């Protein structure tokens, strides 16, 4: 029988050690090298390729709570960026032989080729209980037969997420145009590209996912992606009809330049903030940002739209939140997380700007919130009409 690496024979031992002294013994798959990062868990039942390639996970090692991962392999269409960004991948069991008509390679070969370390064969339930109790913890995965005590010491000495500017490590280096729409591989819809007079959206890349860009193009927008360091003057010089501040990794409190860029855009053009962009929106209004205990990571989080009372199931991946008590009156809380009552959406009462903490592009996850993009495009169209 083949192991996760796809080969018969003895498996290579691996150890996961956390800063609290917890040690888990398992087996290596993917790249055989040591790695470190903040350890968080994701409750999605599927969508591991989208999770692996989500730039928001830069600096983190992801534990999947579903027990069997890799069943349907890896394909060229489902990546949310050009490569995996997770620092490590932790699963109960990694499937060595995927079975799916879209699969082009196994999870092991994909991670090995990308240099991402995986560990399987550990009790992920026990690990998640620790993280739920103590919060996200720094960890180290060592391959071969490392000393557990030395790995614990390395975990304690590793940098914290709050001390790193991770956005600069995932953002694009220069502007580019995005033209690919969203396509359903099973039920493709007819689509034609946006015309020369189409609405123009500028997306500030703090760690953008491809499906955000696809959704905007599908709604007939011309999309330009710019680096996170782009100033408001440079953004506005592109004459956008609207600006999107994307999701991304790390602590928004380390991004005063992005907060300043959003502040310079507010009241000039419609603005949408998604996930990290939502936190940046809150910070630009003077709100306080705080770190969640273990974050929200998964595809099954209930969120209420307060004005209508409607509840949607959302896809989420964030570690920080906006304190609603710190916000000025100009900010209206529009969405609330029904699990822990944290803020999931904001709206500016005076200018066309709003934000969403969760992922309306939902890759992976439910499609309940795609209306967010339609609402933003309608706001852009209304703004253009007023300008003309």
Domain 167-387 falls in which CATH fold? Rossmann fold (3.40.50)
Question: Which pLDDT score, from 0 to 100, does residue 1 have?
Answer: 43
Residue 366 pLDDT: 86
Tell me the pLDDT band of 199, cut-offs 50, 70 and 90: very high
Confidence at residue 146, expressed as pLDDT on a 0 to 100 scale:
87
Q: Give catalytic status of residue 361 as yes or no.
A: yes
**What is the DSSP track for 268-327?**
TS-EEEETHHHHHHHHHTT-EEEEEEEEEEEEEEEEEETTTTEEEEEEEEEEEEEEGGGS
88-109 tens-digit pLDDT: 999 999 999 999 999 999 999 9
In the chain, ranges of CATH 3.50.30.20 domains: 13-158
187 versus 260: the higher-pLDDT residue is: 260
The mean per-residue pLDDT over the stretch 320-338 comes to 97
pLDDT value at position 187? 57
Active site residue 359: yes
| Residue 388 predicted with pLDDT over 90 | no
- Other C-beta atoms lying within 10 Å of the C-beta of residue 188: 9
pLDDT mean over 382-387: 87
Catalytic residue among 87, 275, 297, 344: 275
Mean pLDDT of 327-342: 97
CATH 3.40.50.880 domain extents, the chain: 167-387
User: Is the per-residue pLDDT at 226 higher than 80?
Assistant: yes
- Reported as a pLDDT band with limits 50, 70 and 90, residue 3 is low
Give the mean pLDDT of the chain. Answer: 94
Strand partners, 303: 312, 337
**Annotation marks residue 383 as catalytic:** no
Provide the pLDDT confidence category of residue 185 given band limits of 50, 70 and 90.
Answer: low
pLDDT at residue 276, as a whole number: 98
Per CATH, the number for 13-158 is 3.50.30.20
Residue 26 vs residues 109, 119, 122, 190, 247: alpha-carbon distances, Å: 19, 6, 5, 48, 33
pLDDT at 208: 97
Residues constituting the chain: 388
**Torsional class of 239: left (φ above 0), alpha (ψ -120 to 50), beta (otherwise):** left
pLDDT, mean of residues 115-124: 97
Which of the four pLDDT bands, split at 50, 70 and 90, describes residue 8? very low
Span 335-380, pLDDT tens digits:
999 999 999 999 999 999 999 999 999 888 888 899 999 999 999 9
More confident residue, 367 or 303: 303
Q: What is the pLDDT of residue 7?
A: 47
């Amino acid at each position: 029988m083949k192991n996760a690496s796809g080969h018969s024979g003895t498996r290579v031992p691996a150890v996961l050690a956390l800063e609290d002294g917890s040690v888990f013994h398992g087996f290596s798959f993917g790249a055989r090298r040591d790695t470190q990062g903040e350890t968080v868990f994701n409750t999605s039942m599927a969508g591991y390729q989208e999770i692996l390639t989500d730039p928001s996970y830069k600096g983190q090692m992801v534990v999947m709570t579903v027990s069997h991962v890799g069943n349907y392999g890896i394909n060229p269409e489902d990546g949310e960026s050009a490569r995996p960004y997770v620092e490590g991948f932790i699963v109960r069991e990694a499937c060595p032989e995927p079975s799916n008509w879209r699969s082009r390679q196994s999870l092991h070969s994909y991670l090995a080729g990308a240099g991402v370390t995986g560990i399987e064969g550990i009790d992920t339930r026990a690990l998640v209980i620790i993280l739920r109790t103590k919060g996200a913890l720094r960890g180290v995965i060592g391959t071969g037969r490392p000393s557990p005590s030395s790995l614990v010491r390395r975990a304690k000495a590793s940098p914290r997420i709050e001390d790193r500017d991770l956005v600069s490590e995932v953002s694009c280096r220069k502007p580019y145009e995005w033209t690919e729409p969203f396509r359903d591989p099973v039920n493709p819809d007819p689509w034609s590209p946006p015309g020369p007079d189409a609405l123009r959206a500028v997306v500030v890349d703090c760690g953008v996912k491809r499906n955000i860009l696809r959704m905007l193009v599908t709604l007939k927008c011309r999309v330009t992606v710019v680096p996170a360091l782009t100033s408001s003057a440079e953004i506005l010089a592109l004459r956008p009809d609207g600006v999107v501040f994307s999701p991304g990794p790390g602590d928004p409190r380390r991004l005063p330049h992005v907060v300043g860029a959003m502040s310079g855009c507010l009241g000039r053009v419609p603005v949408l903030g998604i996930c990290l962009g939502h936190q940046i929106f809150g910070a630009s209004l003077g709100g306080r940002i705080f770190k969640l205990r273990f974050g929200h990571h998964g595809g099954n989080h209930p969120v209420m739209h307060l004005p209508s009372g409607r509840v949607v199931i959302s896809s989420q991946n964030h570690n920080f939140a906006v304190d609603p008590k710190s916000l000025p009156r100009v900010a209206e809380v529009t969405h609330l997380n029904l699990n822990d009552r944290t803020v999931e959406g904001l709206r500016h009462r005076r200018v066309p700007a709003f934000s969403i903490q969760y992922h309306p592009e939902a890759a992976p996850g439910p499609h309940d919130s795609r209306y967010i993009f339609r609402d933003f495009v309608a706001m852009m169209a209304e703004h253009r009409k007023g300008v003309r």
